[in-house]
Amino acid sequence: MLSRTHILPVLAAVLALAFVSTPAPASATPAPCTTPMTACARWIMFGGGPARSMVYATYPLDVPQPAVTRALIMVHGALRNADHYFETATAAGFVAGALDDTIIVAPHFVASPDQRAANEVVWPEGGNSWRSGGMSPSNPALSSFDFIDELVRKLADKKNFPNLTKIVVAGHSAGGQLVTRYEMANRVHGTPGVAISYVVANPSSYAWPTAVRPLPTGDADPTDAYREALGDDGEKLHANFTYGPFDAAKVPAYDRWPAGLENLSGYAAALTADQLRKQLVERPTTYLLGQVDVLPLGGFDSSPAAMAQGPTRRARGEAFFKYVTEVLGAKQKAIIVPECGHNDRCIFTTNLVLPVIFP
């Protein structure tokens, strides 16, 4: 649901982006490319090629961009609609006044049914593979996390981005699932010269860092939570949670990767559970939870392993955030985004969120 406060900035951004894309004089700083068409499409080569994947980007990644001081990597959801997420990110960049000094990059995880180019890396259409660092069936040596790693390396290259000091990796829904798992698993976080942060928006599930799970002690019914979120008596949690052992006899796979840290696979298999836990706690992360993202819509994960984490996306996010901060001691943040449900444009263009994705 988009309120007037969300609709007006987005409409203004959409109208204004046409003017942003107008060619600039040769002597001026090049205007950002803001339309998800051929002009904004770039190829990312793996290991010098021929394997490659496509991104939309507001500036070329292989020529010097001295005006760029930060980067936003925006990961799409289950529909693999990188074009839509690129539009969302550029609209947010316009509202924030950040397009001139920010490069926005939207990677595209292509699946078998999609139209694709020669040598383009393919990912499984269903399941959790690309959302959790799984390997490509067309290029078994490459994982989905390797794609993001390659983007980070390119953006951290001082030859082309001499003044870039901040990289934000953000994703919504299935993209949020990728980002929360990439945050704890990636091996490029300490890249010299850049500060990397992570923004996890409305995922259906998380990789829980221990074998415990949230145990609701209050009313966690999603219908009641929806009414509460729409009420006028201030923001409240869905339910009060404690944490305790989960009955594995009911769901034997509840703690296996990507729902937990057992049976690690893909990119994450190179690390131990202790290493993943440590990196999860240490790395700067903000969780964005839609105030009314409490209904089983938009590809909601109702698998037993996901349901063990809570009844709704918002409840799962609150429980995970409270656990990693209050129990594990992480110094992370969470924002309940007012009036937003499972809607990336509502989430990323609100004034509360703009300083997080454009720090």
Superfamily of domain 4-357: Alpha/Beta hydrolase fold, catalytic domain (3.40.50.1820)
Report pTM: 0.89
Tell me what pLDDT residue 217 has: 66
What pLDDT does 239 receive? Answer: 52
Residues 309, 299: Cα–Cα separation, whole Å: 16
Q: At 277, is the secondary structure helix, strand, or coil? A: helix
Could you read off the pLDDT of 94-124 as tens digits, one per residue?
A: 999 999 999 999 999 998 777 789 999 998 8
Say whether pLDDT at 253 is over 80.
yes
More confidently predicted of 298 and 257: 257
| 224 or 171, higher pLDDT | 171
Residue 263, pLDDT > 80, answer yes
pLDDT grade for 6, boundaries at 50, 70 and 90: low
Q: Domain spans of the chain?
A: 4-357
pLDDT of residue 28: 57
pLDDT for 233: 37
The answer to which of 22-36, 197-211, 269-283 has the lowest mean pLDDT is 22-36
Report the share of the chain in percent with pLDDT over 70.
84
Question: What is the pLDDT, as a whole number, of residue 116?
Answer: 82
- Both tokens of residue 209? 């860092």
Average pLDDT over residues 276-290: 98
Q: Which residues of 37-75 are buried (b: 16+ CB within 10 A; e: fewer)?
A: eeebbbebebeeeebbbbbbbbbebeeebebbbbbbbbb
Please, are residues 240 and 214 in contact by the beta-carbon 8 Å criterion?
A: no
Angle in degrees, CA 126, 131, 137, rounded to 5: 60
How far apart CA 33 and CA 39 sit, in angstroms, is 7
Average pLDDT over residues 162-185: 99
Q: What is the pLDDT of residue 124?
A: 83
Question: What's the pLDDT band for 19 if we cut at 50, 70, 90?
Answer: very low
pLDDT of residue 17: 52
What DSSP line would sit under 102-143, residue for residue?
EEEEEE---BTTS---TTB--B-SSTTTGGGTPBPSSSTT-B
Query: What distance in Å separates the CA atoms of residue 118 and residue 137, rounded to the nearest whole number?
Result: 15
Highest mean pLDDT among 126-135, 235-244, 330-339: 330-339
Confidence of residue 175 (pLDDT cuts 50, 70, 90): very high
The residue among 64 and 19 whose pLDDT is bigger is 64
What is the mean predicted confidence (pLDDT) over 56-79? 97
The answer to whether residue 237 scores a pLDDT higher than 80 is: no
**How do 52-57 and 102-107 pair as beta strands?**
antiparallel
- The mean pLDDT value of the chain amounts to 88
For residue 148, the 8-state DSSP code is H
What percent of the chain has pLDDT above 90?
Answer: 78
Lowest mean pLDDT among 113-127, 152-166, 287-301: 113-127
CA dist., res. 6 & res. 210, Å (int): 37
Q: Is the pLDDT of residue 311 over 50?
A: yes
The terminus-to-terminus CA distance of the chain in angstroms comes to: 26
Question: At residue 173, does pLDDT exceed 80?
Answer: yes
pLDDT value at position 310? 94
